[in-house]
């Protein structure tokens, strides 16, 4: 195994606890379980080989996710066609948000949707939205950690997240109405 860092932490100690998070993010990025597995394995090997570049005490999860992301962009993204970002303005998110709220002010319908449907709706988002949402709202990274990982300004992280969340909410709301979890109500505003 790689030699422990000066702080005495080995690669195993630092990296292995993040395997679940790496696997989940890989699933969201590739939307394909077998590609996700290959991506996680490639990531771990690359991380292991560049273990000396890791500064002990810094954010190991962010470091690993950055490697995962770069590997995905360089070696995986070109393999399949990605959905095109949908024109959010056309959806009138604000009006839709109001009608969601009037139908179910506290959003209890969110808890009725089955796990698979939640993941399916996330995976149907455009790739840029899916990625920020996974890193922030699923894996709990801060906006500035995400900005570092994705090499984009914090303001861009914020605006992408806002639009990703609205689009996902709209998707889940339509599903909940379809399934009869809630009654759609016309917005009065």
Partner 1 sequence: MSRIDCDQALAHLQDYLKRELTEDLVVEVRDHLERCQHCFSSARFEESFFLMLETRARRETCPGELRARILAALRAEARGD
Binding site for partner 1 (CB under 8 A): 1-2, 11-12, 19-20, 22-24, 27, 37, 40-41, 44-45, 48-49, 100-101, 104-108, 110-111, 113, 115, 118-119, 122, 133-134, 136-140, 142-143, 158, 161-162, 165, 169
Shortest distance, position 171 Cβ to partner 1, whole Å: 12
Alpha carbons 76 and 27: distance in angstroms, whole number = 12
**78 or 178, CB closer to partner 1?**
178
User: Nearest distance from residue 7's CB to partner 1, in Å?
Assistant: 20
Report the distance separating Cα 61 and Cα 46, nearest Å: 14
Task: Please identify, using beta-carbon distances, which residue of 78 and 104 lies nearer to partner 1.
Answer: 104
**Residue 133 vs residues 70, 117, 177, 181: alpha-carbon distances, Å:** 18, 16, 23, 24
Helix locations, 16-59, DSSP H: 19-30, 33-49
What is the nearest approach in angstroms of partner 1 to the Cβ of residue 107? 3
Q: Which lies closer to partner 1 via its Cβ, residue 84 or residue 112?
A: 112
Residues 6+ apart with CB under 8 A from 85: 126, 128, 129
Nearest distance from residue 55's CB to partner 1, in Å?
21
N-term to C-term CA, the chain: 62
């Amino acid at each position: 195994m790689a030699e422990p860092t000066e702080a005495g932490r080995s690669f195993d100690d630092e990296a292995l606890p993040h395997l679940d998070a790496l696997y989940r993010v890989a699933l969201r990025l590739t939307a394909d379980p077998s590609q996700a597995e290959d991506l996680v394995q490639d990531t771990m090997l690359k991380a292991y080989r560049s273990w000396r570049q890791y500064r002990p005490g810094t954010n190991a999860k962010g470091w690993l996710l950055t490697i995962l992301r770069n590997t995905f962009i360089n070696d995986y993204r070109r393999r399949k066609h990605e959905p095109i970002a949908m024109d959010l303005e056309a959806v009138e998110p604000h009006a839709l948000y109001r009608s969601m709220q009037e139908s179910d002010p506290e959003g209890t319908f969110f808890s009725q949707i089955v796990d698979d449907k939640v993941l399916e709706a996330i995976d149907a988002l455009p790739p840029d939205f899916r990625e920020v949402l996974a890193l922030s709202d699923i894996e709990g990274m801060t906006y500035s950690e995400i900005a570092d990982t994705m090499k984009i300004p914090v303001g861009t992280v914020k605006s992408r997240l806002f639009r990703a969340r609205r689009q996902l909410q709209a998707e889940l709301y339509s599903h909940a109405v379809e399934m009869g979890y809630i009654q759609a109500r016309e917005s009065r505003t």
